Amino acid sequence: MPNLKIALIDDDFERSAFIKSSLIEHGFDVVACLMIDHLNSSGLQQLHADVILLDMDHPHRDIIESCVSQFDLPTVLFTKNSHKDTIKNAIEAGVTAYIVDGIEPQKLESILEISIEQFKKHKKLLKDLNETKCKLFDRKDIEKAKVMLMQMHQLSEDQAFVLLRKSAMSHRMTMGEMARRLIDAQELLQSQFKE
């Protein structure tokens, strides 16, 4: 694996300096070394880090969630805390690896590779889930629009589908977008007549 760009976030200044020098000594590229207190003011997005190493004595879920959501990078948490609830909270907050031990640079590359792959897999699953949800919403809206067309113009289901598809193509939209447009227009007209 090429030189990984690591952003080190720690809650202990002296330890972070030691870890940073150890990581650099073992060939890692430490692009940031931040204290937890200064996370909100940092510009980690501009650093183009590959992974976050979060080293905390007492992991707090809100801090972990902040790192995961703010930076959207694989996050490896190193801690001495092995309580089940803490581990569960960290995983739920989005940590891709939870290591109960010190940072050992010799083992770190494997841990980071696994963490990055887990992160990619998780991102792909989320993307697939969102695409599936969109397809389901599209199908629901297409069915609703077809029923509207069938009722308004006494069309068969096939005729309504063809009309909807042609309209979508001529307006360079997806069928789902066209269906939503038709539904919105119908709802607007119905609300006008009710007043």
Give me the residue spans of the domains in the chain: 5-103, 129-194
Give the C-alpha separation, 39 to 36, whole Å.
6
pLDDT value for 103:
76
What is the residue type of 41?
A: S
Q: What is the DSSP letter of 76?
A: E
Q: Is the pLDDT of residue 110 over 70?
A: yes
175 and 138 Cβ atoms separated by less than 8 Å: yes
Instruction: Please state which CATH number belongs to domain 5-103.
Output: 3.40.50.2300
As a whole number of angstroms, the distance between CA 183 and CA 175 comes to: 12
User: Tell me, which fold does domain 129-194 have in CATH?
Assistant: Arc Repressor Mutant, subunit A (1.10.10)
Max CA separation in the chain (angstroms):
77
Q: Do 5-103 and 129-194 fold alike per CATH?
A: no
Query: In this predicted model, what pLDDT tens digit does every residue of 68-77 receive, in sequence order?
Result: 777 888 999 8
Strand 97-100 to 29-35 pairing: unpaired
List 54's β-bridge partners, or say none. 9, 77
Reported as a pLDDT band with limits 50, 70 and 90, residue 184 is very high
Bridge partners of 7, per DSSP, are 32, 52
Give the C-alpha distances (Å, rounded to integers) separating 1 from 21, 49, 191: 20, 14, 61
| 17-48 per-position pLDDT tens digit | 888 888 888 888 888 888 877 666 455 556 68
**Amino acid symbol at 172:** R
